[in-house]
Amino acid sequence: MDKINIDSVNAIENAVITFDEEGVVMHPTETCYGLAVDIFHEDALRKLYFMKDMKEDKPLSILVGDMEMAQEYGVFSEKALELAKQHWPGALTIIVPKTENLPAYFNKGHETIAIRISGLEFCRELVQHLGEPITTTSANKAGEAPLYSPMVMGGVDLLVDGGVLEKKAPSTVISVIGDEVKVIRQGELEL
């Protein structure tokens, strides 16, 4: 496993190279450490599911770099757009109907996609440099507590070290279909 400091001038470039090589990157977010892969590499996704000991029918959410990218992969109603503009970038994950731009194998069997624009500049820059979404899932095994410190974890190809993070709840997750808003998980952001 390679390791680089988040403040290094090569941190973004090294992470993008790791994604291109179908690798897994552990990196800080505004809530906790996360595991990311390029969603357009099916083998990397399989590796991520294995590492987290997650069932393959459990959907993953994605990080995007801006609203334009979000709308490329999700169908946003007026209500969803309003909430996104109010709370993004930030700790709000919005579930909306997915578009056909996502690979067929990604969240197979699900008609929606959970999308977020991170409140951490590093995450936004990372996605912008890659030019496509990455997964956003906490760096832990399924059912275990999130990580707030950089740690060695089997299967991680690159660790972006952002130091010890302040302990915060994960992102709040809402589903927005048309005008109907449902809170799926109450997290850092109070709605």
**pLDDT (tens digit per residue) in 67-119:** 999 999 999 999 999 999 999 999 999 999 999 999 999 999 999 999 999 99
What is the layout of strands, in order, in the sheet containing 158-161? 2-5, 158-161, 25-28, 33-36, 134-138, 61-63, 112-116, 92-97, 172-177, 180-185
pLDDT > 90? residue 56: no
Instruction: Look up residue 119 and give its two tokens.
Output: 């409140």
More confident of the two residues 143 and 120: 120
At residue 152 the predicted structure's pLDDT band, cuts being 50, 70 and 90, is: confident
Q: Say if CB 52 and CB 166 are below 8 A apart.
A: no
pLDDT of residue 75: 98
Model's pTM, two decimal places?
0.94
Tens of pLDDT along 27-48?
999 889 999 999 999 999 999 9
pLDDT of residue 142: 84
pLDDT of residue 136: 86
pLDDT of residue 106: 96
pLDDT of residue 143: 85
Percent of the chain past pLDDT 70, that is, above it, reads 100
What per-residue string of b and e applies to 39-70 under the rule 16 or more CB within 10 Å gives b? bbbeebbebbbebbeeeeeeebbbbbbeeebb
pLDDT of residue 190: 83
Mean pLDDT of the chain: 95
